[in-house]
Amino acid sequence: MSFDFALQKVMNVKEQEQKNSQNQYTEAMNQFEQVATELYDLLKKKEELEQTGREKVTKGISIYELQSSQSQLLRLQQAINETQHTTQLARERMNRKQQDMVKHSIEFKKYEKMKQVKQEQFKEEQRRLENAQMDDIAIQLFQKRWN
């Protein structure tokens, strides 16, 4: 007789949920990394622009160039602010997906553990039945020899 886990279909569903949440987390993490890299690049560009502006001011710069530089910095700062907001949203989404993934993993592990326990109980019952059969056979052989 083979082992048949009564909750196998439920366990399969839980396993699929776990895999789906893992994929969603990976996707959210990749999106976060992409947006965070974009933010890093913008911040780096701003720093370089500010450094260039400081160098130009010390060398002497026209008012038009100064206004143009300030205008560039303002546009860049606005892009940074928007990207920071997007990064925060991506981080929150990634954290939610991670929590979902952990929750689904725990659920699947519960069913996995239940299956393991039931399988061990089944094996133990099989050994007990086998031992009982062996005892019956031994008793029958003993009775035949003495009769």
> pLDDT, tens digit, for every residue of 24-53?
999 999 999 999 999 999 999 999 999 988
The pairs formed by 30-38 with CB atoms below 8 angstroms and a separation of 24 or more are 31/90, 31/93, 31/94, 32/87, 32/90, 32/91, 32/93, 32/94, 35/83, 35/86, 35/87, 35/90, 36/87, 36/90, 38/83
> pLDDT, tens digit, for every residue of 112-121?
999 999 999 9
Look up the pTM and report it.
0.76
> pLDDT, tens digit, for every residue of 77-88?
999 999 999 999
Kindly report the average pLDDT of the chain as a whole number: 94
Those residues with Cβ within 8 angstroms of residue 7's Cβ, 6 or more apart along the chain or in another chain: 111, 114, 115
Please report the pLDDT score of residue 37 as a whole number.
98
What whole-number distance in Å separates Cα of residue 17 and Cα of residue 138?
51
| Lowest mean per-residue pLDDT among 11-20, 45-54, 79-88, 89-98 | 45-54
The pairs formed by 125-128 with CB atoms below 8 angstroms and a separation of 24 or more are 126/1
Tally Cβ neighbours within 10 Å of residue 26: 13
Query: Is the pLDDT assigned to residue 2 strictly greater than 90?
Result: no
Domains, the chain, ranges and CATH?
8-108 (1.10.287.1700)
